[in-house]
A and B are shown apart, each in its own frame.
Chain A
Amino acid sequence: MELLKPELGLIIWTTIILLSLIFILTKFAWKPILKGLNDREKTIAEALNTAEKTKLEMAAMKSQHEALLNEARQERSLILKEAKDMKDAIIGEARDKAKSEGAKMIEEAKREIDNQKMAAIIEVKNAAGNLVLEVSEKILRRELNSKDEQVKYINTLIEQSKLN
């Protein structure tokens, strides 16, 4: 039963040791450790919050970026379309112009040809007139005796003019 009797001396020493241990450990160990733990927990929580926020921001930025990209794409297709239209218009215009120019040139050529033709015809007419005049002159100059001779002579004249 010796075991069950608490000794006063030991109680006093235990009290002293425990009190000083509580004091020393609180000051030098528990406070810094618990503060460090709390601080780290806070830091981690903050870091997680920030990460979450950043994630959201990133998502927002991404959608913004996407919208921008879409806009750019639309603009590009618009520009391309416009360019194509313009090209088509230019080409059409050029074609029309070429066509009208060609037509004009043809017209002019035709007119020229006509003019030339008319000039030629006039020349031919003049030549024919001169020829007739010459022939008539020769005929008139020769005073033809007979009818036969007259015809023969006209034919030679004609043949001569032909030879010309």
Chain B
Amino acid sequence: MCEYLCATKKRVIALKVLKFKLFITIFLLSIFSVPAVSIAQENNSANQSENLVPNEPKKEDGKFNAKKVILEHISDSHEWHFFSYPSDDGYKSVALPLPCILYSKAVGFSFFMFNHLEEGAIDGYKLNAEHHIERADGAGFYDLSITKNVAAMLISSILLIWLFRTAAKGYGARPNQAPTGMQNLMEVLVSFVRDEAAKPFLGKKTDKYLPYLLTVFFFIWINNMLGLLPGGANVTGNIAVTTTLALFTFILILTGSRKHYWMHILNPPGIPFGVKLILVPVEILGIVTKPFALLIRLFANMTAGHLIVLSFLSMIFIFGQMSPIAGGGISIFSIAFSTFIYLLEMLVCALQAYIFTMLSSVFISEAIAGGHDHEEHAAEEHH
């Protein structure tokens, strides 16, 4: 019972955090929309006055575009961008080019490094104005490149394998003894996932789903944390990644589901026929909305966190362009707030990983429960 209460409490906290973040996001977006509009207006006026003052548009390139910067930071990319510095011919960026793997019907598979594309078209691929890959003939193609997010996932995977391989060695070296070092650290987390996120819901079936739940928990957590690092990739704030994670859970729900689960959806017992007409479609929708909520929750939480931190930091430059004093003044406020959000995000990183794992096991346990098991479980709860 207490476990259930704790879980609900955590969910309530998570909800509150999410609400708080949404509020700040909306608040910031409303602030930014003002300068954005004014910049747009300036653009217009600049365009209008182009004839009068020909030098003016050049300055436009140097303007700080918060929306562009933030979106570039949180979206996937074919290169790992670190920083840009001003030079004689515009801004130069220091970035690690990543390999592109592209497939189109016309040329089949193409492999090349992204920076080679800047020198000219390869295999009919070229860069467009937004620095995105495009086919010269405008045809569609499949992009299977090792993007920034894929590279970040590979790094975090190697990190995970190294961490847990190190931890696992301790069990072979010192069986049945007190854990030490890395083993000690990881053991606490592993047994936390086992005892808090898996066992209370899955019961006897824990062992079957535990490897998946552990992998997902640590995969999400480490990617959340690495995403917070400056220059880190926003992996778990990418909807493709969260979609895949949710799909994995969805597949486990479907493959593990038993007759009892489907009967509860298609013919809920003890409910009048009239209500069934409304309830059954809702329940059928619920099959999909559960994993969908998983993917949206993780995506929204991580993206919102990045948005807020970046937005606070962007304010310094926006105000700095108005006047250096305003920029300096706002920087105190911005840094204080972004530090606060950063610390909050560190909590959210672990919390979201936990929530995803816990809800996955809750959904799986609902699907695999048989009528008999259910009664047993209820009986256990009463004790």
Contacts and interface: CB of A to CB of B under 8 A. Distances in A.
A11 B171 contact: no
Most buried by B among A7, A10, A24: A10
A11 B244 CA distance: 6
B32 interface: no
B241 interface: yes
A8 B244 CA distance: 10
Contacts of A43: 176
Interface residues of A, number: 35
Given A10-B76, A34-B190, A25 B303 contact: no
A37 B167 CA distance: 12
A3 B176 contact: no
A6 B164 contact: no
A39 interface: yes
A25 B161 CA distance: 6
Specify the main secondary structure of chain B where it touches its partner.
helix
B211 interface: yes
Interface in B10-49: none
B147 A33 contact: no
Contact of B239 (A3, A30, A40): A3
A139 interface: no
A37 B240 CA distance: 35
B186 A33 contact: yes
Interface stretch (B118-126, B152-160, B342-350): B152-160
A24 B214 CA distance: 12
A21 B144 contact: no
Contacts of A39: 171, 175-176
22 contacts: A7-B76, A8-B142, A11-B240, A12-B144, A13-B149, A17-B157, A25-B211, A25-B214, A25-B215, A29-B168, A30-B210, A31-B211, A32-B171, A33-B168, A33-B171, A33-B190, A34-B194, A34-B207, A37-B171, A37-B187, A40-B176, A43-B176
Given A12-B144, A17-B157, 19 more contacts: A3-B71, A6-B243, A9-B142, A10-B240, A13-B149, A14-B150, A18-B216, A18-B245, A21-B219, A22-B212, A26-B215, A28-B164, A30-B164, A30-B210, A30-B211, A33-B186, A33-B190, A34-B207, A43-B176
Interface of B: 71, 74-76, 142-147, 149-150, 153-154, 157, 160-161, 164-165, 167-168, 170-172, 175-177, 186-187, 190-191, 194, 207, 210-212, 214-216, 218-219, 238-241, 243-245, 247-248, 303
